[in-house]
């Protein structure tokens, strides 16, 4: 009788442990906040024609529940872009290294200048190119830097806590403007 009770108790313990371990294993296999983005380079191509009115005029950041966001505002369509992790951010044209805080560096290059291509007048203004936006308190972003604009291309660098998944997409509007959006997840 005691052997039967011990066997029954053993079976109950095994069942209880497996029932509590299953949800933990299932949760570990689920993506964080439904994010399946990955961390490889992402590129896109908008209109290839050069317009005298499609320049970068603002860069904004925001915090969300599952990711940090950077938005590049363009006065016309976003043209060709590349967003990728790099060993070091480099300036457009000169190729000079730009230091960033964090464990990884994400470089955003967009084929839209930070100036009016007809008049040469600057269209994107900032107080400090090494602290483009204040990201104090962000979970993923550590620093946002302006890496310059040259021959129609503009570059922005993000110092990121670690190499984390990110996504990139373009939103059109309001009006004839558009936005390049880069979201970096808080974790894998």
Helix (H) or strand (E) holding 84: strand 81-86
Average pLDDT for the chain: 88
Q: Is the domain of 18 the same as that of 99? A: no
pLDDT at position 13, please?
56
**pLDDT for 97-156, tens place per residue?**
999 999 999 999 999 999 998 899 999 999 999 999 999 999 999 999 999 999 999 999
- Between CA 100 and CA 183 the distance in angstroms is 18
Q: Whole-prediction pTM value?
A: 0.83
Looking at per-residue pLDDT, the higher value among 27 and 102 belongs to: 102
So what's the pLDDT on residue 25? 46
User: Is 17 in the same domain as 88?
Assistant: no
Same domain, 24 and 59: no
In a domain, 122, yes or no: yes
Would residue 85 count as lying in a domain?
yes
Range of the structural domain that residue 157 is part of:
42-185
- H/E stretch holding 7: helix 2-29
Please check whether residues 22 and 79 belong to one and the same domain. Answer: no
Looking at the structure of the chain, the number of domains it has is 2
Q: Let me know if residue 37 belongs to a domain.
A: no
């Amino acid at each position: 009788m005691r052997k039967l009770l011990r066997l029954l108790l053993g079976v109950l313990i095994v069942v209880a442990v497996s029932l509590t371990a299953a949800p933990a294993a299932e949760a570990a296999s689920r993506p964080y906040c439904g994010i399946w983005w990955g961390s490889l380079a992402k590129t896109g191509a908008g209109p290839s024609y050069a317009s005298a009115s499609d320049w970068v005029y603002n860069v904004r950041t925001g915090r969300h529940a599952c990711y940090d966001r950077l938005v590049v505002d363009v006065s016309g369509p976003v043209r060709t872009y590349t967003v990728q992790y790099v060993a070091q951010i480099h300036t457009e044209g000169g190729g000079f290294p730009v230091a960033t805080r964090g464990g990884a560096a994400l470089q955003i290059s967009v084929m839209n200048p930070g100036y009016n291509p007809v008049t040469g007048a600057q269209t994107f203004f900032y107080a400090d190119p090494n602290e483009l936006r204040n990201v104090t308190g962000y979970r993923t972003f550590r620093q946002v830097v302006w890496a310059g604009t040259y021959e129609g291309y503009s570059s922005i660098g993000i110092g990121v806590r670690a190499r984390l998944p990110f996504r990139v997409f373009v939103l059109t509007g309001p009006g004839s403007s558009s936005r390049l959006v880069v979201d970096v997840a808080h974790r894998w």
